[in-house]
Structure 1
C-alpha cells in the first residue's frame, strides 16, 4: 500500500435496513475505500408486524466501517474534513442523556436496553395511524392525504399507549438520521428532511399544536417539542448545514476521526440517493454527452432508490399535492425547493421472498454454485430458453397467464393502504425450476408496473418526469432495469456503483458542512467526474460524470422553518 493519504476527503455513512456502509470520498467524487457491516434486526415470532433494531449496534458497526476505510485507504484522520450521515426513516428512542430506551412491548418497555429502534418496516402502529387519518388535520395535506404507519408520529403514539407516563416523559424521539448526528455531536438539532418528511413538521408553519393535542400527544407541545425536535423550529437545519461543534471527543474516538470534524445535517437514505444520482450526466447514441443539468432540469428526473423497499423522489420549484404520495415537503435538501416521495413497501424483500419460499430454491442455489453464476443470471438464462422453446416474442407473453400483485406488505403509494395484501393468479401444479423462473419474472414485472403507476400519478398531478435515475442493490439486476425502461417508457440511468450512490450523497453532506463551517457557503460544492455509468435499454451506454447542485449560500434558520 502507498503511504498515508493526506488529500482532503470526506466520509459518508449510509445506514440501510440490514447494514451500515461507510465510504471515504475525495473532492472529485472518487471513493478511496468502502466498508459494509451487517446490523441486527429483531423480529417477534408471534407478531409479523414487529421489526426492531439497536442504536448501540448500529453505532458500533459505523465505527468498524469507518476505521476499515481509513485503514484500507491509508487515509490520515486529519485528512477527513467532513462527515455526513443518511439512514432509514426509523424511530430511535433515548432518554435525555442519550441512553437507549426499550421499545419492545412488555414490562420492560420504556426502560434502558438495547432494542430501542422501531424500524421503518414495523407496522405495529396501524390503529394509531387510522386515528390520525380521521382527524382531517392540515398535517395530512402534506403526506398525500393519509399518514403512513411507517412514519414517526403513529409510532410515538403507540409508545405512549404502551409505556408508563413517567417513562414516556423521559424519552427523546429521533428519526434515525437525526439520532446519528446527535450521537456524533451531542447537539440535538434536527434536520428539515427528517422533521418535514416523517415527523409532521409542516412547511412554512412548523409544528401544529392542535394536531398533537387532537391525537393525544399534547405532552409534546407542552414541553416545547423538546422530545421530538427543537421548539418552533429554532434548531432545524437544511441538509449539510454544520451540526453543533462537530464531532465530540467521545464520538471521534469511537469512529477513529478527530474531534471537531464538521458533521453535516443528515438526510433520509432515499434523499441521499437523490443527491448522489439526480444531477448525473449521461450519453446516448444520438445526442452525445449531456450537459450538466440545471436544478430545473433535474425536476424531470425521478430518483428511485431500490433496496429492501423502493423510494421515488422528485423535486419541484413549488409544492405539488399528489393523492397517495408523500409530500409536498419543503426544504428537505435544497432551500426553497419542494419534494414528493412515492414508494413501494416491499421490492427487494419481495423478490427474495418469492425466491426463497419456492420449493426449487435449494436447487437454484446449488446450480449457481456449480456453474459459478449469480442465481438471477441463471433465472434469466432459463427464462430466455423457455421463451425460445415456446416460440413467443417476449417474456411477458411467456408469462401471460401468470399474474402477481406485489403488495404483500401493504401499499405505500399511490393507494396508500398498509392493509393491502398480495396475490398470485394462474398457478400451475409445478414446483420446478422453470416454475420458479416464471414467478420470478412475474414479480419483476409487477414491481415495474407499480413504478409506472406511481410515475403516472405524479405526472397527472403536475410533475413532468421523463427519466429514472436508479440506485441501490436492485440496480444490479439488468433484467429488472430493462423492464423499468420498457414499462415506464423512459430512460433508466444507472450509477457505476449501485450501492455507492447513496453513501456518496452522505459524503456530500460532509463536504457541505466543512465549507459552511469555514464560511465558504458561496461554493457550489460539486463532485465532478471520475465515475462511469450506463443508460439502460435502447439509450446506449457511456460514462457518467456526477454533479450535485446545492444552495449557493448558507440558508438562514428562519428560511428552514
Structure 2
C-alpha cells in the first residue's frame, strides 16, 4: 500500500439485508475502497408460507467474514478503522439475557436455545396479533399511520408470548435487528431511536405506553420495567451516537478490528439508504448542480430504497400524520426532525416471481445466455422489438390492455392491509416470449403506479416532495427508473453506485461515532445531552461531505403517454376499490369467517 494512504482514516459500514451481509470500507470523502458480501440463510416452512426465519449467529459470522474481506482487499491496517456503523432489516432478534440465541420456531424448540432466533421482517405469522393491536385504539397507532403492520416487532413479540411457555418467555430479551448488532458488538444494551420509534411502539416524547402493553397482554414487559425490550430512561441513542465503550474485546477478535473502535447507534436499512442518498448533489445533462443541499432541502426529497421490497422515507421539521403510512417518527435519524415511512412489501421479489413463474422464462434465460445478455436486458430488447413491430409509440401503449395490481404479499402502504392480494387483468391463452415480455413491463409499471400512490398520499397529507432519490438493486434497472419519473412526474436521482448507498450511510454512522468519541476523550466524560443537540448539524455535514454526486433522470413522456399513464393510475385505484368490495361481499356471504 502506498505511503499516501498508510495514515489515512477509514470507516466501515455494515448492511444486513434480507439475503446477505455486506461490508464497505469508506474513507472520509465517501470513496469506497473495498466491499465484501456474504450470503445469509433464511429458513422457510414448507407448510406455512408466512414463515421466514434467520439466525443471528449466521449473520454475525457473515459480518466477520465481510469485514475481514474488506481489510484483506484493501490491505488497510485495522488501526486505521476509526469507526463502525450497522444497519439491518427490521427483523426481531431474540436472545436470553446473556445474549445466547433463543429459538423462534413454533414447536418443541420454541423459547429454548436454538440457532433460528430471528423472525424476519417478511414473516407474516402475527396476523391475529396485529388485528388485536389494531382494535385497541391506542395512541401508538397514531404513529404508524393508524394501522400497525404485522411486520413490526410488537405483534411478533405478542405471537411469541401467545405460543411460548411463560417460563421461557420471561427469560427472553427482544431486539430490532440493528440494535442487536450494536449489542453484539459492544455488549451495551442501549437502543436506537430509529428502531424503537419506527418498529417497537416507542411513542415520540412519551416513550413506552404502559396501558397499551397491558391491554394487549404484554403487561409482563411493563412489570419488569421494559428490561426485555430495553430502552430504560437514558438508554435511547440517536443515529451515530457512540454505543458503550466501542467494540468489546470478544467482538473485536471476531471482526478482525481493534477493541474500543467506536460503534455508532444503528439504523434500519432503509433509513441508512436515506442517509447515503438524500444529501447528494446531482448531474443533469452532464452538468453538476452548483450548491450543496441544505438540511431544509431534505424535506423535498423522497428516499426510496428498492430491493426485495421498497421503503420510502421522507423527513420533515414537524410531524405529518398520513393515513396508512408509518410515522410520524421523531428523531429516527436527525435530532429534532420527524420522518414518515411508506413501503411496498414486494417489488424486486415480485419481478422475480412474475418472471420465474412464466412458462417462457427458461427459454428467455437460454436465449439471453446465448446472446451474452442479462435476462432483464434481453426482455427489454424484446419489448422494444415488439413496440416497433406493432407501430406503437411507447411501451405503455404496447401494454395498455394488461393491468397488474402488485400486492401479492399484502399492502404495506398507503392501504396498510396485509390481506390485499395481487391481480392480473388482460390475460390471453399465450405462454410465449411475447407474453413474458408484456407481463414483465406491466409488472414494472404496477410498481411505479404504486409508488405514485404512496407519493401522492404523502403530498396530500402535507409533505412537498419534488424528487425521488432511489438506491438499491432496482436502481440498476434504468427502464424502471424512467417509469418512476414518468408515472410520478418527478425527477429520479440515482446514486453513483446503487449497491453502496446503504453501506455508505452506515459508514457515516461510524464516522460520527468516532468524532463524538474523540470529543468524549478530550472532555473526559460523556455528555449525551450535548451530543444530541449537535447531532443533526454534525451528521448532515458528514452526509454532504461523503455522498457522491448522483445522476438525475427527468420525466420524458409525451402528452399521449401521459394520458395513458394517468388512465392506468385511475384503473390502479379502481382495482383497490373493487378488491375491497369483492372481499366484503364474500365475507357477508359467509365464505370467509
| CA displacement 1:79-123 (0-9 Å, x = unmatched) | 000000000000000000000000000011000010000000000
Report the alpha carbon displacement of residue 293 of structure 1 after superposing the two structures with TM. Answer: 1.0
Q: Distance in 2 between matches of 1:389 and 1:176?
A: 51
Q: CA deviation at 1:216?
A: 0.2
TM-fit CA distance, 1:534: 1.5
Is 1:114 aligned with 2:115? Answer: yes
Q: Secondary structure at the match of 2:107?
A: coil
User: How far off is 1:533 after superposition?
Assistant: 3.0
Q: Secondary structure at the match of 1:525?
A: helix
Q: Does the Cα contact within 8 Å between 2:486 and 2:555 map onto a contact in 1?
A: no
Match in the other structure for 2:508: 508
Aligned-partner SS, 1:299: helix
**Whole-angstrom distance in 1 between the partners of 2:301 and 2:350:** 25
Work out the CA distance in 1 between the residues paired with 2:149 and 2:295: 29
The reply to whether residue 182 of structure 1 matches residue 183 of structure 2 is yes
Contact persistence 1:5–1:73 (CA under 8 A)? no
The match for 1:95 is 96
Deviates more, 1:286-295 or 1:327-336: 286-295
Question: 1:280 aligned to 2:284?
Answer: no
Q: Is the 8 A contact 2:310 2:343 kept in 1?
A: yes
Distance 2:199 2:181 in 1: 16
Moved more, 278-287 or 377-386: 278-287
**Alpha-carbon offset, residue 400 of structure 1:** 1.1
Listed one character per residue, the Cα deviations across residues 228-273 of structure 1 (whole Å, up to 9, x for unaligned) are: 1222x42000000000000000100000000000000000000000
Q: 2:551 aligns with which of 530, 534, 543?
A: 534
Cα distance in structure 2, aligned partners of 1:532 and 1:239: 23
Judging by fraction of residues, say which structure has more helix. Answer: 2
Q: C-alpha separation between the residues in 1 aligned to 2:239 and 2:246?
A: 15
Unaligned 5+ segments in structure 2 are: 521-530, 557-593
Between 513-522 and 401-410, report the one with greater CA deviation: 513-522
1:255-313 Cα offsets, whole Å, 9 max, x none, are 00000000000000000000000010013359851411111111000000000000000
Q: Deviations over 1:346-366 (max 9, x none)?
A: 000000000111111111111
Q: Partner of 1:47 in structure 2?
A: 48
Q: 530-539 or 53-62: which moved more? A: 530-539
**Structure 1: distance between partners of 2:434 and 2:83:** 51
- Conserved in 1, the CA contact under 8 Å of 2:197 and 2:203? yes
- The alpha carbon displacement at 1:528 in A equals 2.7
Which position in structure 1 is the counterpart of 2:13? 12
SS at match of 1:519: helix
Residue 335 (structure 1) aligns with: 335
Alpha-carbon displacement from aligned partner over 1:514-537 (angstroms, at most 9, x marks no partner): 001111866543553683532114
Q: Distance in 1 between matches of 2:362 and 2:555?
A: 35
Residues in 1 aligned to 2:287 and 2:262: alpha-carbon distance in whole angstroms: 41
Task: For residue 21 of structure 1, give the secondary structure of its aligned residue in structure 2.
Answer: strand
Q: Is the 8 A contact 2:283 2:549 kept in 1?
A: no
Counterpart-to-counterpart distance in 2, 1:489 and 1:102: 47
Q: Distance in 2 between matches of 1:209 and 1:366?
A: 59
Name the counterpart of 1:409. 409
Two-structure CA RMSD over aligned residues (Å) = 1.4
TM, length-normalised to structure 1: 0.94
Kindly state the Cα deviation for residue 369 of structure 1 after the two structures are TM-superposed.
1.3
Correspondence 1:392 to 2:392: yes
- Whether 1:456 aligns to 2:456 is yes
- 1:402–1:425 contact (8 Å) kept in structure 2: yes
2:173 counterpart SS class:
strand
Partner SS, residue 458 of structure 2? helix
Post-superposition CA distance 1:314-333 (Å, at most 9, x none): 00000000000000000000
Who is 1:445 aligned against? 445
Match in the other structure for 1:205: 206
Partner of 1:552: none
Q: Judging changes above 3 Å, is the alpha-carbon distance between structure 1 residues 273 and 526 closer, same or farther for their aligned structure 2 residues?
A: closer
Tell me by how many angstroms 1:405 deviates: 0.5
Offset of residue 368 of structure 1: 1.7
The question of whether the paired residues in 1 share the 8 Å contact of 2:65 and 2:255 is answered with: yes
Shift of residue 430, structure 1, vs aligned partner: 1.0
Aligned to 2:32: 31
Query: How far apart, in 1, do the equivalents of 2:9 and 2:217 lie?
Result: 49
For 1:452 and 1:256, the matched residues in 2 are separated by: 45
| Aligned-partner Cα distance in 2 for 1:16–1:55 | 13
Shift of 1:392: 1.1
State the secondary structure of the residue aligned to 2:21.
strand
The residue number in structure 2 matching 1:493 is 493
SS across alignment from 1:120: coil
Q: Which residue of 2 aligns with 1:554?
A: none
8 A contact 2:280–2:544 mirrored in 1? no
Give CA deviations for 1:494-518 in whole Å, capped at 9, x if unaligned.
Answer: 0121010000000000000000111
Q: 1:376 to 1:32 in 2, by over 3 A?
A: same
Counterpart position of 2:345: 345
Aligned to 2:264: 264
Cα distance, 1:6 vs. partner?
3.5
Cα distance between partner residues in 1 of 2:544 and 2:138: 41
Measured in 2, the distance between the counterparts of 1:241 and 1:440 equals 44
Report the equivalent of 2:361.
361
What SS does structure 2 have at the residue aligned with 1:33? strand
- Provide the C-alpha distance between the structure 2 equivalents of 1:356 and 1:460, rounded to a whole number of angstroms: 37
2:194 is matched with 193
| Residue aligning to 1:557 | none
8 Å CA contact 1:177, 1:267 repeated in 2 = yes
Give CA deviations for 1:183-232 in whole Å, capped at 9, x if unaligned.
Answer: 0000010000000000000000000000000000000011110101222x
